[in-house]
A and B are shown apart, each in its own frame.
Chain A
Amino acid sequence: MLSRHAESFFWLSRNVERAETVARVLDVTNTRAMDLHAGGTWAQRSWRTALMIGTLGAAPAAALADATAANVLERCVFDRDNPSSICSSIAIARTNAIGLRAELSSEVWEHINQLYLDVQDQAGRVGERGPSRFLRIVRDRCQAIAGVSDATLPHVDGWNFMQLGRFVERASLAARILATAASFDDPWPEWQRLLEMCCASFPFARAATQLQSPPDAAAFILFNPTFPRSVNFCANQIDAALHRLSQTPERAYTDVAEKLAGRLSAAVTFADAADIITDGLHPFVRAVLTGLDALVGSIQNVYFPRVPVAVALNRSEAVAG
């Protein structure tokens, strides 16, 4: 397929995944913050956490200092200057979808377009009933887009690039969510919140055989091989998608993207809770994020190498990440 289309598939699904997760993070934060004193230390801290996730760590210091519910929602839902706000993500996903109109099923395209139009309509307000309803709709619709893509697109090139985008984004957001934990000494409700942000609350409760501890929770999000939002699961999916694309046999690694994916997969397959206690959570999570960055760079080099500058100027809008 055209390299440009491959790249658009990648960014399309990455941004849908991002909008979904940011919506979940904000919703969890909002409901959790209701239990705490509004404006109290913990409430402010949880909004600050949400802001860090919702801006991919790019929030200015002033915004972090003034992380109220209203400010964070504004910045992470509607602010088009924040490239990872829900509105931005959906707009970027749609821009990429427009470039893919001839490649997408009408179902996928219409779901994306409708979500974009609805979010535009909402522009700047989440309604009197609070943000929950709106965030819920975004989440549902993003999941519908993923589902309709799986159900209507042939599982060949384009779909494989969507898988890459989806699981790269999911893994990196899971890592970012973990990175916001101060330490394993945080009280359990804090850890419960992080689990919920990763959709992992019930799966973890079921999987944890003993009393739930913070290192076990972190290990679940990082290492569980069957939970579809764990970093391990995502790394395996990335590895599989890359192998389908290059048609290299399993366990053989021909290009740099496959090697980096294999390395990441090994890092989260052959480690356990003891390692993150010994190494420290933050260094481990940072290594995962660095590994993902390198992986994305290599996917770009292998499948959609950058074109000369003169042409690149023209394309910056259409495929902006």
Chain B
Amino acid sequence: MLELVQRPVVDDVFDEFFADPTTPRPNYVRLAETLGAVETETLVHGVRAINAALLRRGVTFTVYAESSGTERIFPFDPIPRIFSHREWRRISAGVEQRVRALNAFLRDVYHEGRILREGRVPRELVHSSDLFVREMVGVRVPNDVYIHVSGIDLIRDAQGTPLVLEDNVRTPSGISYVLENRDVLKRTFPRLFDGYRIEPVDDYPLRLLRTLREAAPHGTREPNVVVLTPGVYNSAYYEHTVLARTMGVPLAEGRDLIVVDNCVFLKTTGGLERVDVIYRRIDDDFMDPLYFRADSALGIIGFMNAYRAGNVGLANAIGTGIADDKALYRFVPSMIRFYLSEEPLLENVETLDCSDTVTRRHVSEHLDELVVKRTNGSGGHGMLIGPASSGAERADFARQIEAAPRSYIAQPVIQLSSHPTLIDGRLAPRRIDLRPFALYGKRIDVPPAALTRVALRNGSLVVNSSQGGGSKDTWVLAAEDDDA
């Protein structure tokens, strides 16, 4: 039998499962009972079967750092993470608010620039960013929506308050694991679902398709949607195939598309076929070799002309990266106040701006207690976790910050909340985060389909799949089951 007693790691860590060392939180009472009656062997064997099935099904991502593009599965942990309906509503309202403000910010910086004029966001910070795309200035996009799909990463502080760790408004991935995890958990451990009523996740593709159709240029009757992938070697290729398949739209590569007379077409066995909306999973830089990186073979020659002419919709819009530039992160609360005249529902993590001389000195002197991130980094790369770093690493980062202050921010180490996780046949607390996804067509939709990532290494705070992370099924309880 599983030992369900809480084993706290650090005092100031919020435990998602236990209210105190022996009492599960209300959402988890039923699960604790079920787990208490399950043989450990059953769980361990089940997980082994799941991992084998994931490999057979090719639910894998590619690890770039290793030679020959090794295929790995994203390890799955069978202990689900559970949100009460009420708490989920609070979180999704916060996510919606944030996405609305970030979208308004994009609309603004690519047109009037009011927020810059009024000095609420420093103009030089925007204009010095690699992620600000001048080609988008003055370009109108359908419905003024830029951020059709976003993933907002949340963590919990010691009190359990959700904080936004970062916004991902370019091409966030992970939704395929949400769909896969639910499916696999239902098949392997149906008993865990006893006594729960859970919001389904499998209508996500339909909601995404609706969002994408709304991204079509005005007046398009039956929009033709395609998913654009960089190809089979991309780490998220599996996800691209799932989305295309479940939405029932073609999965195209750049070489399958061609621009003729400023319109985008698919090369099919029946000739050229007009495309109205592209859900692209390629970075801005690679979208059109005529405008951006000339060496890109992934994009579509002439795409930007078609896009700027308003002949094709694109999700997400070109140039959204400026909204999740880490140097601008600390201004998001001001954006919310400025554009929406509302107080932020979700708080930020305290962030220090290294471009300020005084702050920079403070950061350099306290590197051992801070987390330093490159403003254009992602995937857990280009990051220093002070308390876990060596003197040499800190010295190296100090030099880098001095050389390019605009490129770094620093944050205090936040102890991510912990959740019981099956490790070597026993439950052990491991750190987790949460990535809810927001869809923005004509209005913002936050489906109850969020990804929980878990740092499988003991004490680790890094949940990224490329760095030893795994994932959990994430449940949002139906409204009437709410007991929290």
- Residues of A within 8 Å of B57, CB to CB, are 106, 109-110, 113
- CB of B269 within 8 A of CB of A114, answer no
Q: What is the minimal beta-carbon distance from B38 to any residue of chain A, in angstroms?
A: 28
Q: What 1/0 mask marks residues of chain B from 208 to 241 whose CB sits below 8 Å from any chain A CB?
A: 0000000000000000000100011000011011
- Give the CA-CA distance A6 to B267 in the complex, in Å: 11
- Residues of B within 8 Å of A4, CB to CB, are 253, 255-256, 267
Q: Does A1 touch B at the CB level, under 8 Å?
A: yes
- Give the CA-CA distance A310 to B296 in the complex, in Å: 11
- CB of B245 within 8 A of CB of A307, answer no
- Give the CA-CA distance A310 to B298 in the complex, in Å: 11
Tell me which residues from 96 to 121 in chain A have a Cβ below 8 Å from any Cβ of chain B: 98-99, 101-103, 106, 109-110, 113-114, 117
- CB of B58 within 8 A of CB of A2, answer no
Which of the segments A41-49, A268-276, A311-319 contacts the partner chain?
A: A311-319
Q: Does B260 touch A at the CB level, under 8 Å?
A: no
The number of residue pairs between A and B whose CB atoms lie closer than 8 Å in the complex comes to: 69
- CB of B255 within 8 A of CB of A6, answer no
- Residues of B within 8 Å of A157, CB to CB, are 269
- CB of A318 within 8 A of CB of B267, answer no
Tell me which residues from 207 to 226 in chain A have a Cβ below 8 Å from any Cβ of chain B: none
Q: Does B55 touch A at the CB level, under 8 Å?
A: yes
Tell me which residues from 38 to 66 in chain B have a Cβ below 8 Å from any Cβ of chain A: 55-58
Q: Does B251 touch A at the CB level, under 8 Å?
A: yes
Contact of B232 among A98, A113, A307, A313 (CB under 8 A): A98
Tell me which residues from 263 to 288 in chain B have a Cβ below 8 Å from any Cβ of chain A: 266-269
- CB of A102 within 8 A of CB of B269, answer no
- Give the CA-CA distance A315 to B233 in the complex, in Å: 12
Q: What 1/0 mask marks residues of chain B from 84 to 128 whose CB sits below 8 Å from any chain A CB?
A: 000000000000000000000000000000000000000000000
Q: Does B252 touch A at the CB level, under 8 Å?
A: yes
How many B residues are at the interface, by size bracket?
20 to 34
Q: Does B344 touch A at the CB level, under 8 Å?
A: no
- CB of A101 within 8 A of CB of B269, answer no
- Residues of B within 8 Å of A303, CB to CB, are 269
- Residues of B within 8 Å of A101, CB to CB, are 58, 237-238, 241, 245, 251
- CB of A117 within 8 A of CB of B269, answer no
Contacts A101-B238, A102-B245, A245-B269 given: A3-B256 contact, CB under 8 Å? yes
- Residues of B within 8 Å of A102, CB to CB, are 227, 240-242, 244-245, 250-251
Query: Which partner residue on chain B sits nearest A160 by CB separation?
Result: B269
- Residues of A within 8 Å of B256, CB to CB, are 2-4
Contact of B269 among A98, A109, A304, A310 (CB under 8 A): A304
- CB of B269 within 8 A of CB of A113, answer no
- Give the CA-CA distance A68 to B58 in the complex, in Å: 37
Q: Does B297 touch A at the CB level, under 8 Å?
A: yes
- CB of B231 within 8 A of CB of A318, answer yes
- Give the CA-CA distance A114 to B53 in the complex, in Å: 10
- CB of A110 within 8 A of CB of B56, answer yes
A-B CB contact pairs (8 Å), 8 listed: A2-B267, A98-B232, A101-B245, A102-B227, A102-B244, A110-B58, A310-B297, A314-B255
**Given A101-B58, A102-B240, A110-B56, 15 more pairs with CB closer than 8 A:** A1-B268, A2-B269, A4-B255, A4-B256, A95-B232, A98-B237, A101-B251, A102-B250, A103-B245, A103-B251, A106-B57, A109-B57, A245-B269, A307-B267, A311-B297
Residues of B participating in the A interface, judged by any CB pair closer than 8 Å: 55-58, 227, 231-232, 237-238, 240-242, 244-245, 250-253, 255-256, 266-269, 297
